[in-house]
Every structure is written in C-alpha cells, then in structure tokens.
Amino acid sequence: MRLASKFILIVAGILSVTLALNAYYVLQSQNRLLEQQLEERGRVLGHLIALISPEAILGLDFLSLDGYAREVSRQRDVVYGVIVDNDDQPLTSYVNGDDARIRRGLGVDGPAPDHLPPPRMQKLIKRLAALPDVMPVEFPIVHDGHQLGRLRVGISRAELVAQAREQMVQQFAIYAIIILFLSAAIYLVFKYSVMHPVKRLIEVSQDLGRGEFTLVPVGSRDELGRLGETFNAMTLEIQREQAKLHYQANYDPLTAQPNRMLAVERLQQEIRSAHRQQQRFALMFIDLDDFKIVNDTMGHAVGDQLLAHVSAHIRSRLREEDTLARLGGDEFLVLLPRLSQPNEAREVARRLLEAVSEPVSLDGHEVVVHCSIGIALYPDDGDTVESLMANADNAMYQAKKPGRPPICFFTAEMNAQMRERLQLEQELNKVLARGGLQLAFQPIFRADDGAYVGAEVLLRWNHPEQGFISPATFIPLAESTGQIVAIGKWVLREAGRQLRSWLDTGLGPGYLAVNISRVQLREDLEQLVHEVLEDNRLSPQTLELEITENILLDDHQQINDVLGRLHGRGLRLSLDDFGTGYSSLSYLRRFSFDTLKIDRSFVSPLCEDLEAAALVRAIVAMAHSLSLKVIAEGVESRAQLEFLKGLGCDYLQGYLLSHPLDADHFTAFLSRIAHEPAPWGDCPLSLIHG
C-alpha cells in the first residue's frame, strides 16, 4: 500500500472515529432530552388526572375510574394507564386492546379484551413495564394530605427510537459527506505538497541506483525542501566519489593512463568491433630495458618521474583513438585499432622506440632508456584477450633477448619456445630432489708463475633428455620461479662438502669461489655460511663469495652491512664480471672486496682492439691502486695470456688453461698438480688437458 493511501486511511479513520464519537454524544443528548420530554408529558398528564380522580376513588366509582384510565390510555405515546390503591391492587380494568404490546402481553393473536380482572391486570402491567420500549411513570393521587392511590402510566419510546434512528442516519450521512470532503481535500494537499516531492525523490533515487545523477527540483524552504537540498548534496558527493573510484579503478595514478583492467576492457570491445567489421588491429607490449638501473641508482622518486615522462612521450606519438595503458612496473600496453597492414604497426613501434629513447632531464641528470616491443595482430595471432595478451608478452620476451631487434612480431614458433620454457620451469622445481644438478670447477692460476690458487664453482644441469643445460638458460628460470634460493643453498653446502672431502684426502684445493645471487643476499646468507663452515670444519679463507655488479645497486647499506660482516669473519669477496654492469668507483671503495674479475667480453678483443687493451690496462691499474687483486676471465689464447701477464694481471682463468671440470676430473687435476707443479713455459696446459 502506498504512503498516500495509508495517510488517507489514517486521516479518514481518525475523522470517522472523531465524528462517530461526536454523533454518539449528540444522539445520547437528544435521547435524554426526548426522555425528559416524555417524562414531562406523563407528569403533566398524571397531575391532571390526579386532580380529578380522588373523588372517584373515595366514592368507589369504578366506572369513572375506568373512564379516566381510558382517557389516559388513548393519549399520544401512552401504552397503558391504570389506577392502583396503596396496596398496588388495580382499581381500573380498562386496557387498549388495539395496542400490539397489550396483545403480546396478554398472549393473544386477535383482538384483546378492553377490560381485565385485577389479577390479570396486575400481571399485564408488570410485563409492559419491563419492556425496553416502554417507560413507566407513576404519580400519587393525594386528597387532603393523604395518598389514596397511584396512577401508573406506560409511555411508549417508539417515537423516541424512530426519531433517534432518523437523526442518526442524518448525522452519519452528513458526517460521511464531511469525511469524504475533508479526506479529498487533505489528500490533494498531501499529494501536491508532500507526495509529489517524495515521489520525485523516489524517482531520482532509482535513477541514482542506475548510475544516473539527477538532481531534485527544490521549490520550498520547508522540511521537504531541505530534504531535497540534502539529497542533491548527497547525489553530487556520490557522483564525485564514484568518479574518483572509477578513476582509481581504471587509471594509473602515476601516468594518468588506463591501467590493466581498463586496457583489458577496451581490448574486449575492440575484439568485438573488429569481428563485426572484419578489421585488424595490433596489440603491443612495451618494456623499458634499463628502468631498474635508473630506479636503483637514482631512487624510486626519479624512477616514477621517468615513467611519467616516457608515458607522455609514447602518448604523443599515438592517435587519439589508440589506447596506451600501464600494466604495472615498467610495462606498457598499446592498442592500435583499424590497421590495414602489419607494417603500420611496425612503423608505429619505430616511432615509439624513438619516443622512449628521448633524453629526459631528471633531478639534474639526463637519463636515456630504451625499450623492447612485442606485437600481436588480430586475428592472426589470437582472437581472445588471453591469447593476444599472452602472445604479445611472448613476443616482447623474445625482443628482450640479447642480439634480438627491439621490435618483435609474434610467431607460432614462439609458442613452442614458451612451452619448452614452461616445461623446463616445471622440471626445475623437481631437479634438486632428483639430483639433476652437478658442480663443476674451473681452476684459477697465478699469472706470474702459473701456480694453481683456487677454482670457481660453476653449476651444471644434467637433463635426462636434453643433456647438459647452460646456466644462462636455467638460472634466469630459477630466479623467476623462486628456486634460486634453494639452489643457491645447495650449491654452497655442496661446495663446502666437496672442499672438506678433498682436504680429508690430503689434496690442496686452495679456495673455492661461489657465485651469490641477489636473492641470497636478502636471505639469511650469514647463517648459511656459518653452518657450511661449521659443518665441514672449514677455514673462512677457503671460501670466496663472488658478487656481480648489478647486485650492488639494490640496497647499498644492507648489502654493505652483510658483506662487511662476512669479510670481517675472514671470507674472501670478489666483484664478478666487472665492466658489464653499472657500478662506479664509489662501490669499489664502499664495499670490502679482495678481488676484481674482468669480464671475458673485455679479454676476447684484447690483442686486436687497442681501445680494449687500454681499457683493461686502466682497470688493472685502478684495481691495484685500491689494493685489489685482478682476475682475468675468458683467457683462450697464448697471446691473451702473455698480454695479461704484461699488464700486471694477478690471476688468470679460461679455456686455454682449463675447461670446467666435474668433481672426479677436478680431483684428478688436484692430484696431478700436487705431484707435478710446473711453470708456465713447461707443462701446465698438458697437465690440465693431457
């Protein structure tokens, strides 16, 4: 039931009850007034008869008394009139036999007798006086101060009841008209002053539920008007909050571009549109190649500024209808609708490469980054959101590989490569339990006399089907799956166990250099090293930890604290692959390194490239000035060996001197050099390879 109907029913009910009570009061008042009138009529009549009748009573003139009784009984509204003595014995016998009540009292259906004997008269009077529509009144008959008898008169209330009923009908008819009129008037006033604004509020509330922000017209300053103003203020606030939430849910706050969720929604829309119109479009995944370096070296605030600038540069090279979205981190998505040829996507990708590579001035530094772009085409490379995004991501992954062009279109062969990669990831999760990993040891020699000093511990995966898998292949997989932590622990524990084994047999393995990953430095590396040394009863000088340059970019203070404590316990520290990363001289001064290892990429062109030779010479001089020993990796020719010796390099490592050896062959190598040490000019090569 609606509010207006309820209100009208309540008002009508209240009016009805009020008017009914009023009518009842009026009717009761009128009834009392009529009864008083009847009593007064009977009293006047009785007094009149009383003045006449005493003589007839004294003279026992029963005929006159019946005449008086007949005269009284025939008066208006009189049912009976009877004179009784002081003992209540009737002195008259007349009754009006035509009156229906008399007949009912006598129990006869036909005409009743006009005269009754005293006993029967007495019973009749009692019955009539007890009727609800008969009002009995009684008047004394007095003569000379003495009561001679009484006149009993029964006055009919029929007229009173009829008049009351008629008045009641009239009253209720009038009240019904009043109720209808007042209800209609109240309803109209309520409808237009209350219900119309409330109905409008309901309609606007329903619009608000559908996401339509409609304001309520306010036409008054009363409570409803203030309610409308409050509702409008609430609507505007909800609209602002919804717009804010929509922006937060669909846009990246850093770049002000769509985020992944909105990008997926637009991609779904574009797939439907392209399907209907038989059109092609391109989906690009863009990843910044050097962003982590900037983020780590210059701070996250500068990194955020760089992302904002790169986003603006990319957006400036796109059409208005194109979509640029930030997927997260340094990855972006570009959606190019309505393409006629794939080359159009390639041309756009070239422009985006140029845009990303534009120098950006940040925090007083000119920063240049590059990117890799993977492209998937609809419908050639997929017709669903999942397939297109997966294939564009796969193409971007291929573009990031060393030696590949920075723009890469998806091909079917990439799926096979990705499946192989996923297969390797799954097998890598089980490799430790199955014992598929092995350690290899590549000897390190002193440059001046060729003496063996130690070995670098290398990791090999002996796959049951593919044979030995290069660490360059499975180490990145281990890092991406989180297995690098367990693998790193196994390598360090296995190296300690093998070192103890050689020492127990009397061999002199020197020191073992173990590569430490970024994740291990963030884990409990100190506790692990302590356990390895304690469990195998090793001196700290028998272990060397090799750290790559890029690891130093993560958290200077934390890494410096960890490495400082390890070095303080006597462990050797080596900076691996120097020259390939982004470290500076300040890192060499800050961290407690013992050795610097020159990467093989600088050693290979040493004899042919004068600039490379000058660079290696400068590195050696710089390291010596910082009291660091220098190891040259990748020595593969006698010319390189002699050149490095001439530069003052301290230690040498490479295929010319020895390939990496498994534990058995390395044991044999240690046994041979223990009995047949020789200088460079004689037989070290034959000892190792022979």
Distance (Å, whole) CA 526 – CA 563: 9
Paired residues of 629 in beta bridges = 595
How many separate domains does the chain show? 4
Of 249, 264, 295, which residue constitutes the final position of a domain? 249
Provide the pLDDT for residue 377: 95
Provide the pLDDT for residue 683: 41
Q: Are residues 105 and 117 both part of a single domain?
A: yes
Max avg pLDDT among 134-138, 236-240, 415-419? 134-138
Distance (Å, whole) CA 535 – CA 489: 14
Strands, DSSP E only, in 85-133?
A: none
Q: Are residues 377 and 465 both part of a single domain?
A: no
Share of the chain above pLDDT 90, in %: 34
Q: Are residues 438 and 377 both part of a single domain?
A: no
- Tell me the three state secondary structure of residue 611: helix
Q: What is the CATH number of the domain that holds 437?
A: 3.20.20.450
Q: What is the CATH number of the domain that holds 90?
A: 3.30.450
Q: What is the CATH number of the domain that holds 359?
A: 3.30.70.270
- Tell me the three state secondary structure of residue 118: helix
Q: Is the pLDDT of residue 353 over 80?
A: yes
Which tens digit of pLDDT belongs to each residue from 485-511? Answer: 888 899 999 999 999 999 999 998 899
pLDDT band at 194 (very low <50, low <70, confident <90, very high): low
Q: Is the pLDDT of residue 536 over 90?
A: yes
Give the Cβ contact number of residue 275 at 10 Å.
12
What sign results for the dihedral spanned by CA atoms 137, 141, 146, 149? negative
When the pLDDT of each residue in the chain is averaged and rounded to a whole number, the result is: 82
Distance (Å, whole) CA 76 – CA 65: 19
Q: Are residues 236 and 257 both part of a single domain?
A: no
Within a domain: residue 134?
yes
- Average pLDDT of the segment spanning 644-653: 94
Give the Cβ contact number of residue 309 at 10 Å.
19
Provide the pLDDT for residue 685: 44
pLDDT band at 45 (very low <50, low <70, confident <90, very high): low
Buried b (16+ CB within 10 A) or exposed e, 473-482: ebbebbeeee
Nearest to 32 by CA among 172, 169, 160: 160
Q: What share of the chain is helix, strand, coil (3-state, %, to 5)?
A: 55, 20, 25
> Which is more confidently placed, 685 or 669?
669
Which tens digit of pLDDT belongs to each residue from 73-121? Answer: 877 778 888 888 888 888 888 888 778 788 888 888 777 788 888 888 8
Q: Quote the domain boundaries for residue 59.
A: 53-156
Within a domain: residue 436?
yes
Within a domain: residue 320?
yes
Within a domain: residue 31?
no
- Average pLDDT of the segment spanning 163-174: 74
Q: Are residues 588 and 439 both part of a single domain?
A: yes
Nearest to 443 by CA among 690, 688, 648, 639: 688
Q: Are residues 487 and 518 both part of a single domain?
A: yes
Q: Are residues 631 and 565 both part of a single domain?
A: yes
Of 120, 135, 156, which residue constitutes the final position of a domain? 156
Backbone angles phi, psi at 302, to 5 degrees: -65, -40
Q: Is the pLDDT of residue 50 over 60?
A: no
pTM: 0.54
Within a domain: residue 27?
no
Angle formed by the axes of helices 260-277 and 385-399, nearest 10°:
110
- Average pLDDT of the segment spanning 664-684: 73
Which tens digit of pLDDT belongs to each residue from 425-451? Answer: 777 777 777 778 889 999 999 999 999
Q: Is the pLDDT of residue 393 over 60?
A: yes
> Which is more confidently placed, 2 or 496?
496
Within a domain: residue 588?
yes
- Average pLDDT of the segment spanning 195-204: 67
Which tens digit of pLDDT belongs to each residue from 223-234? Answer: 666 776 676 777
pLDDT band at 659 (very low <50, low <70, confident <90, very high): very high
pLDDT band at 686 (very low <50, low <70, confident <90, very high): very low
The answer to whether residues 391 and 309 touch, using CB atoms and an 8 Å cutoff, is no
Q: Are residues 245 and 323 both part of a single domain?
A: no
Within a domain: residue 653?
yes
Nearest to 283 by CA among 345, 223, 331, 328: 345
- DSSP per residue, 346-415: HHHHHHHHHHHTS-EEETTEEE---EEEEEEEETTT-SSHHHHHHHHHHHHHHHTSTTS-SEEE--HHHH
The verdict on whether omega for the bond into residue 119 sits within 30 degrees of 0, i.e. cis, is no
Which tens digit of pLDDT belongs to each residue from 243-261? Answer: 788 888 899 999 999 999 9
Within a domain: residue 145?
yes
Q: Is the pLDDT of residue 46 over 70?
A: no
Of 88, 123, 156, which residue constitutes the final position of a domain? 156
- Torsion, CA 314, CA 316, CA 321, CA 326, rounded to 10: 30
Q: Are residues 557 and 675 both part of a single domain?
A: yes
pLDDT band at 381 (very low <50, low <70, confident <90, very high): very high
Q: Are residues 488 and 541 both part of a single domain?
A: yes
Q: Are residues 664 and 544 both part of a single domain?
A: yes
Distance (Å, whole) CA 512 – CA 542: 6
Q: Is the pLDDT of residue 681 over 60?
A: no
- Average pLDDT of the segment spanning 144-173: 78
Which tens digit of pLDDT belongs to each residue from 561-584? Answer: 888 888 889 999 999 877 655 555
- The H-or-E segment that residue 305 falls in is helix 300-316
- Average pLDDT of the segment spanning 623-638: 92
Distance (Å, whole) CA 94 – CA 162: 28
Q: Is the pLDDT of residue 678 over 60?
A: no
The pair of structure tokens assigned to 239 is 């609209």
**CA atoms within a 13 Å half-sphere pointing along the CA-CB vector of 454:** 21
Q: Are residues 327 and 459 both part of a single domain?
A: no
Provide the pLDDT for residue 655: 94
Give the single-character DSSP code of 214: -
